[in-house]
Structure 1
Amino acid sequence: MAAFQPAPTMAQAWQCQPPGFLPRPALELPPSAAITRTAIDGYVLALSWSPEYCRGRMRDPAARFQCSGEIGDFGFVLHGLWPETKGANYPQYCRAVGVLPKRTVSDNICLSPSPQLLQHQWAKHGSCMATKPDAYFAAARLLFNAIEFPDMARLSREPERGTPLTAQVLAERIADLNDGLPAYAITVKTNNKGWLQDVRICLGKDFKPRRCSALTRRAPATAQIKIWRGR
């Protein structure tokens, strides 16, 4: 990732301020059948488009911090940093982990605005990558903050003005803003109605961008996409 130029810290979390009180997440204990300890061959940095996730969830207590506006307004947020393998049997829940410390939750709530999502990512993915949660989230934060995003509100209006917006075009717009990040290392995921959900960055074991594998979930390159601007 050395080729990336650092973007402004928390550029996608406008005026985010961690609250004085944050609930502790619940301990996540996976069933034994979910435990997979395969060799790591690369990573995926998964970024969720928060306005789409929050559509209809503004008053949902489970989505309080991300969607109510209480601690800030969000664009892209970190869904997770996921280790990959050469096949479909990716590593997960590699070892048992405890509940995240309060300080770790507070330090990362503006990155992933849900205590339980942070706990889930640490238990499922971070447990295969690091011995301590702070190391895992520091790597995810560094990667996330290195990415510059296009003006999503402006992009969302292009189809309204007669310019089709496809998954490939969005990947290219992101790549154009980030030296060293080619469009072939970016995939776009939409819901079944064509609305943007996630952007995913494919990385090698050295954390440098690489071509996404055929197993990475994505919208077809020519699929026309829509971007929800939020309330």
Structure 2
Amino acid sequence: MRPLFVSAALMVLLTACTASQEATPERTEAAGAVCDVPDDLRPARPYRIPQGEAAPDVPVAFNMLAVSWSPQACRSGKDYPDERYQCAGNQFGLTLHGLWPNGADNRHPRYCAAPGPAIPVETVRRHFCMTPSPSLQQHEWAAHGTCGWDSPEAYLAQAARMWDGLNKPDLEVIPAQRLTAGAIRDAFVAANPGFPREGVFIATTDGWFREARLCYSKDYRPMRCPRGLGAPDRERLKLAPRGVQTGAQTGARQGAQTGG
């Protein structure tokens, strides 16, 4: 009977461990920091294509990976944060805005097919620490993913491969008096040897760093950006600190479903 008693005890121990694991919130590493996936995370509502914004006939010439400074989104309360997820609790630094197929000129493929139902919650959770906004995930799939992928899972998986393969620079170590668009551009290139300096487009908002848009070929090889680099190297910038939520609560509800 002794072996049976030991087996039973092991079963009780394993059951207790499993229950403990299920009760613990999901935690993962996100760009060097621990990310907690919220227990109450839910997908966004299905996205309606804005009238007049569909451009399914524009051929894809290259891709952009838009890497955002999350504290700036939270500071401004504009564009793409789900405030309760992105700006409270976790203190994100660089996050992924989206993977964007681009056209050869100023027209870009956009809303190429009906986006269908809401992204499944399992997919939203899987990519939360990369893009910590269900609304943004839904928008990016609708606006950009439908122009090259058959499903939100395929689109977000490709974005995740590129995100995981990108070394994220520590922008907060750059002294404030030396923070320029060129310094941020240099930080991305230094962290990713071989990435062309002319492949880093810097987007700003009223003197604040907003995001770096990295240019890739149609087969996802780093390349020079064909239409300029955004902010010039000499432009002095400010970097929003982590944890600042000013403006997020009032603006997030208005801007949660918009983006690039």
Q: Deviation at 1:24? A: 2.6
Correspondence 1:128-207 to 2 at 5 A: 128-155=147-174, 157-159=175-177, 164-192=178-206, 194-207=207-220
Amino acid across the alignment from 1:175: V
- The answer to whether 1:103 aligns with 2:122 is yes
CA distance in 2, matches of 1:224, 1:52: 16
Cα distance change of structure 1 residues 56 and 209 upon mapping to structure 2, 3 Å threshold: closer
TM score, norm. by length of structure 2: 0.76
- The answer to whether 1:44 aligns with 2:57 is no
TM score, norm. by length of structure 1: 0.85
CA distance in 2, matches of 1:187, 1:18: 30
Structure-2 residue corresponding to 1:15:
34
What do residues 51-98 of structure 1 show as CA deviations (whole Å, max 9, x unaligned)?
Answer: 1211265xxx941111001xx221111101000111111001000022
What do residues 171-215 of structure 1 show as CA deviations (whole Å, max 9, x unaligned)?
Answer: 1121012122111100111111x1111111011111111111226
| Secondary structure, counterpart of 1:118 in structure 2 | helix
8 A contact 1:46–1:198 mirrored in 2: yes
Amino acid across the alignment from 1:152: L
CA distance in 1, matches of 2:82, 2:195: 34
Q: What value does the CA root-mean-square deviation take over the aligned residues?
A: 1.9
Q: Unaligned regions of 5+ residues in structure 1, if any?
A: 1-8
Structure-2 residue corresponding to 1:78:
96
- The answer to whether 1:125 aligns with 2:144 is yes
CA distance in 2, matches of 1:195, 1:143: 25
Correspondence 1:21-40 to 2 at 5 A: 21-37=40-56, 38-40=58-60
Amino acid across the alignment from 1:197: R
2:84 is matched with which residue: 45, 64, 75? 64
Cα distance change of structure 1 residues 187 and 26 upon mapping to structure 2, 3 Å threshold: same
Give the helix-richer structure, 1 or 2: 2
8 A contact 1:149–1:174 mirrored in 2: yes
CA distance in 2, matches of 1:228, 1:54: 9
Structure-2 residue corresponding to 1:5:
none
Cα distance change of structure 1 residues 94 and 10 upon mapping to structure 2, 3 Å threshold: farther
CA distance in 2, matches of 1:56, 1:67: 11
- The answer to whether 1:222 aligns with 2:248 is no
- Equivalent pairs, count: 211
Q: Deviation at 1:138? A: 0.9
Structure 1 segments of 4 or more deviating over 4 A?
none
CA distance in 1, matches of 2:180, 2:162: 25
8 A contact 1:13–1:110 mirrored in 2: no
Higher alpha-carbon Rg? 2
CA distance in 2, matches of 1:198, 1:44: 12
Structure-1 residue corresponding to 2:75:
55
Cα distance change of structure 1 residues 215 and 174 upon mapping to structure 2, 3 Å threshold: closer
CA distance in 2, matches of 1:34, 1:103: 29
CA distance in 2, matches of 1:195, 1:112: 21
